Amino acid sequence: MPTNNVTRFLDSRKIPYQAFALPTEKQSAEETAAFLDVPLPLIYKSIVVTRKNGGKEILAVVPGDKEVDTSALAKAVGEKKVKISSQKEAERSTGLQVGGISPLALIQKGFDIILDSSAEEHETIHVSGGELGVNIRLPVDALIECTHALVAPISRTPPTGIY
């Protein structure tokens, strides 16, 4: 089982979880779901979002078969507009590689963490383990509690059907 800062944090809080080793190159949500033989809607991806007027960055956590609805996200955080960060911007602001960005790795980093409300339909979901090659399955309520995530409807089905 992989061990890193995220798994040590979960262990220290006695949060039940299961860690999975993945290939260490960046995996899409679809690739992760296939590798773990898990339905795609249970694989949640973390998207870094900035506020148009500055302020705390946002980590939007949405199901693998959806995309961030920036209008709904802006409304959820009380902003007029938000912008999805580029891969380079996301890596610079989080200090993590895309594919390894995790709400569990950013708890003390000053991000507002917003979890799509669809997560509440599941007992457990999968999120990145804070580095490439690590995936974590944990109870949704534990994720919300330890990250202090706001839960809101912030995802939509991609208009083209491409994830």
What is the rounded average pLDDT of the residues 74-87?
Answer: 95
Give yes or no for residue 153 having a pLDDT over 80: yes
Give yes or no for residue 162 having a pLDDT over 70: no
What is the rounded average pLDDT of the residues 29-56?
Answer: 94
- pLDDT tens per residue across span 120-139: 999 999 999 999 999 999 99
What's the CA angle centered on 94, arms 143 and 85, to 5 degrees?
100
CA distances from 79 to 13, 41, 69, 150 (A): 33, 27, 13, 15
Amino acid, res. 162: I
Domain extents in the chain: 5-156
User: Can you give the pTM of this predicted structure?
Assistant: 0.93
Backbone angles phi, psi at 112, to 5 degrees: -85, 120
Average pLDDT of every residue of the chain? 93
Q: Are strands 44-51 and 58-63 parallel, antiparallel or unpaired?
A: antiparallel
What is the rounded average pLDDT of the residues 14-21?
Answer: 95
What's the CA angle centered on 12, arms 25 and 20, to 5 degrees?
25
Select the CATH number that applies to the domain covering 5-156 from these four: 3.40.140.10, 3.20.20.70, 3.90.960.10, 3.40.309.10: 3.90.960.10
